[in-house]
Structure 1
Amino acid sequence: MQWRPELSRRHFLGVSAAATLGLMGAPLRAQTGPKRGGHFRLGVGGGATTDTLDPANWKPFMTSYGHALHGYLTEVGADGVLRGEVAESWEASPDAKIWTFKLRAGLEFHNGKSLSAEDVIASLNHHRGEGSKSAAKAILASVVDIRADGPDVVVVELATGNADFPYLLDDYHLPMMPAKDGLADTSGVGLGGYVLEMTDFGVKASATRFANYWKPNAAWFDSIEVLAIHDATARTNALLTGQIHAMDRADLKTIHMLERNQGIEITSIAGTQHYTMPMLVDQAPYSNKDLRLALKYGIDRQQFLDTILRGYGQIGNDHPISPAMRYAAKDLPQRAYDPDRAKFHFEKAGLSGTKLSLSTAEAAFPGAVDAAVLYQQNLAAAGIEIDVLREPNDGYWDNVWTKKPWCTAFWSGRATEDWMFSQVYASGTEWNDTRWGNERFDELLLKARAELDENLRGEMYAEMQGIVHEDGGVVVPVFANYVGAMSRKIGHGTIGTSWALDGYRSTERWWFAEEA
């Protein structure tokens, strides 16, 4: 089976069709098209002193900066079509177990080394093996062998067929790095449009344009700078005063300030991003299914959407598959706010009188603290008392997420159902942030991945969504649009839906626009 763009489009059509771009404020000014030059400054709501150049452990701050430095085997375009990036083309065996990737000729790393198959092998193997702590380990868990077939061909053999495998290689943890003594060089040397200049983790990082970048119509800026600005108000003020040119995760409580500014453009992109409240199910009392059900019935999702998101999203149903995705379980009953049922399950769990603690910070998602307080009020109507613990923004993802028994979090989502489930919900995966496991779920995950019959595959994914909805350790109240803002000095084309900030490729795809 040889890759063709029209086949790839079908895999991503659900999310692409749901994408919306809101352009608010002053009328759009005329643009003459992309041009080179300038120093671009991006403010992101993440970053910690524990950040690293090793992509195996990238978190929000490094995803934007890392995409500037690196290239990937595949790329989900702004139009939702999967394309080759480092890989020029690929073919699959009839059972989708063996994938053969032809590498693009003439690609050069920032250190002058020419790309070869050994670099791809080292880059993928960096995330494999028993000792790997990579967030992408689960993505490559089915890989049994990676080998070269000459200097520019890489063959990947899977234990079971996976029709979506090329999509997985766009995961932001899987950039191509130069091989050094058979291992991947994680020093930041890449194939991307920009060369590492400096990093001050938790504060900022900068890079300059790579003179020998292979893409002719990309990486328009002379230099870029990514700044970690956790506080949404501080990010907004930085944009309004010209200290940054663009920002992610706009504060919806104060977005009216940006809407009134004629020099600011607001973007609202519907995709797979969702806000969550994960529980560690290997710790009491969250190991009790009735408690988990009590907390799921105890949240007013419509109020959450209206109050926290100002309508910029859709209601969730306690599983991670967006309504826009291909195999969304549209027949799964929507869980509604029901204080009486929440109280019933809480008492059935034997927890009457028990006070719970929910850890939160604005670093989790914009409005997370207000969301936790709103949730506290919702649960009070069911007789469930919780303390809202406001944690420091700095280090939240290292010290709270997956460490505290119940917290607020968000996921940007993934392009396919298998990708999301494999990385976050399969038993024992590194990024399973509830430590939840379900034997039937794991069985269906393997079967669905290799199933070529679309109807059967859809039935299995629907059952899996039902299992997480009923048994899982996460509350998913809403799917949130990617809402950001930028100076009207910045030009851009269609903004992609696969991740935030134009698929985390804003530094490559955007430019300084000419004034009308």
Structure 2
Amino acid sequence: MSEQKDKLNRAMAMIGSGRITRREFVQLAIASGMTAAGATSLYSSTARAQPKSGGSAKFGMAHGSATDTLDPASWPDTFTQTAFWGAMSNSLTEVDAKGEIQPDLAESFEPADGAKRWVFKIRKGATFHDGKTVSPEDVIASIQHHRGEDSKSAAKSLLESITDIKADGPDTVVFTLNAGNADFPYVVSDYHLPIMPAKDGKADWQSGVRTGAFVFESFEPGISARLKKNPNYYKSGKPYLDEVQFLAITDVGARTNALLAGEVDYIGRADLKTLDMLKANPDIEITEIAGYGHYTLPMNVTIAPFDNKDVRLAIKWAINRKEIADKIFLGHATVANDNPLAPSIKYAINPEPVFEFNPEKAKEHLKKAGLETLSVDLSVSDAAFAGAVDAASLIRESAAKCGINVNIIREPSDSYWDNVWLKKPWCASYWSGRATADWMFTTTYAAGAAWNDTYWNNPRFNELLVQARAETDTAKRAAMYAEMQQINHDDNGNIVLVFNNFITAASKRLGHGEVAPNWENDGLKIAERWWIAT
């Protein structure tokens, strides 16, 4: 290696720490044989790839509601999840960019007794924002916060298998389950389960004191949240940013304009219709990740006419999913088949038959239901997912050819999650997906789960859910999950339209590493993981 090349490599290593200026680097690169344009480009790309501390950033979130709170039991969408969990809190474990489970606030976890017991060691030196050392009592109170008889927490169903939680010394917590569960470390990584300080034996969620990369500063529900850097964070070198602000901008056009005007540095759920325009902007970076997310149309199976299985099947056959994927998602989504498990998830199958637009089959099921025609209301808003309103229009057109009249009710975006989802009989929704079959099924398809948005209760499915969770034989477990996916596909009222890509847009002043696919906004941890690059 020539002396000049060696100097250039060493100079590249110095960019991230700010020990060499752009001008100095360009001069050195030109001396080694590069063009000025090439040297400038290399400096910029290298600078963006090197984490460095300092600065502030504003993130435009696709969600937010006036009823949002600091209580993790009630966090419904990406605003509260990204700000108050990903930025401000930690769970015992976390899912990495590869979809693997890793220790977080716990420094280790080990199974015992056939995975019926799980032993978690709390990370040494981990403290809350007020300086208090994290203890087993804090962990126990945080988990119990979701388990009470009157709990409405979305995580309650995930924790029903726990029969006992106890401390074992100053830094160890032992969970005892009613049956083995090899996926339990995934369960405790859920964003509803941050560790909070115990106060009088209960989790103190009101104070906003947590363990995460950022400290609570201010919060206006449905508008914004401001956080500042935690100087005592246990993850060395993180976070990189000094301050962050999350802005609730539910209208996709307004989010796009805010990014273009420099009012925010990042937006979630970029507008697919203007994506080419954003890509053409040299100051903006588009990130597209194929994760586990999916867009859905849940029908409440306890309310007529959706309580009739043949009505549900008629509607499933009356939807032209490919047309929706092509016209609404413009190649940024994959047609789904009423199975919430993304193809990349272990044990996922593609049930038969594959639902596609088929007027004959739709009319056949209407006839079985004793109907010649059917009229139903579909409540939608682009708050559910960008393009939901337009997708509903296509559904209305295709369903009309099947004798089904779909009356579209366009709901207000700012109150959609409070007044429509889980309340209206048929509506639009979305799921970020989950990294394991058990996690996904337990969260939204188990009988009595707080977020079971079809209110479905299938005894055989529920029986298999418990059995599969404890099954250690891989082949037997695969067969159980295959049967569960088939039952869900055939009987449930949830229409899974497409698996959507996570598409975001950001100013190139922000830098980042590999983006995680498990949740939106870099696994909801964008504030902790990203930095100011230029």
Give the TM-score range, shorter chain. over 0.9
CA-to-aligned-CA distance 1:140-180 (integer Å, 9 cap, x gap): 01000000001100000000110000011111000000000
CA-to-aligned-CA distance 1:158-208 (integer Å, 9 cap, x gap): 001100000111110000000001100102110001111100000111100
What's 1:398 paired with?
A: 418
Query: Secondary structure of the residue that 2:413 maps to in structure 1?
Result: coil
Query: Secondary structure of the residue that 2:412 maps to in structure 1?
Result: coil
In structure 2, which of residues 103, 106, 121 is the aligned counterpart of residue 84 of structure 1? 103
What's 1:100 paired with?
A: 119
- Counterpart of 1:46, as a letter, is H
What's 2:145 paired with?
A: 126
Matches within 5 A, 1:43-442: 43-60=60-77, 61-66=79-84, 67-187=86-206, 188-330=208-350, 332-442=352-462
Q: Which moved more, 1:217-226 or 1:275-284?
A: 217-226
Distance in 2 between residues matched to 1:168 and 1:319, nearest whole Å: 20
Distance in 2 between residues matched to 1:288 and 1:474, nearest whole Å: 13
Cα RMSD (Å) of the superposition? 1.2
Q: Which moved more, 1:248-257 or 1:437-446?
A: 248-257
- Counterpart of 1:74, as a letter, is T
- Counterpart of 1:329, as a letter, is I
What's 2:45 paired with?
A: 30
Kept after mapping to 2: 8 A contact 1:149/1:155: yes
Structure 1 residue 218, shift from structure 2 partner: 2.3
- Counterpart of 1:31, as a letter, is T
Q: Give every structure 1 segment of 4 or more consecutive aligned residues whose post-TM-superposition deviation is greater than 6 Å.
A: none
Structure 1 residue 331, shift from structure 2 partner: 5.9
Kept after mapping to 2: 8 A contact 1:36/1:511: yes
- Counterpart of 2:46, as a letter, is Q
Distance in 1 between residues matched to 2:311 and 2:353, nearest whole Å: 20
Kept after mapping to 2: 8 A contact 1:177/1:186: yes
- Counterpart of 2:45, as a letter, is A
Kept after mapping to 1: 8 A contact 2:94/2:103: yes
Distance in 2 between residues matched to 1:386 and 1:459, nearest whole Å: 37
Q: Which moved more, 1:403-412 or 1:376-385?
A: 376-385
Kept after mapping to 1: 8 A contact 2:339/2:350: no
Distance in 1 between residues matched to 2:464 and 2:98, nearest whole Å: 31
**1:475 aligned to 2:512?**
no
CA-to-aligned-CA distance 1:278-307 (integer Å, 9 cap, x gap): 011111110000010011111111111111
Structure 1 residue 94, shift from structure 2 partner: 3.8
Count matched residues.
Answer: 488
Query: Secondary structure of the residue that 1:273 maps to in structure 2?
Result: strand
- Counterpart of 2:484, as a letter, is M
What's 2:15 paired with?
A: none
| Larger-Rg structure | 2
Distance in 2 between residues matched to 1:442 and 1:413, nearest whole Å: 19
What's 1:450 paired with?
A: 470
Query: Secondary structure of the residue that 1:147 maps to in structure 2?
Result: strand
TM-score of the two chains, using structure 1 as the length reference: 0.93
Q: Which moved more, 1:272-281 or 1:254-263?
A: 254-263
| Alignment gaps of 5+ in structure 2 | 1-40
Kept after mapping to 1: 8 A contact 2:126/2:234: yes
TM-score of the two chains, using structure 2 as the length reference: 0.90
Distance in 1 between residues matched to 2:367 and 2:418, nearest whole Å: 34
- Higher helix proportion, which one? 2
What's 1:19 paired with?
A: none
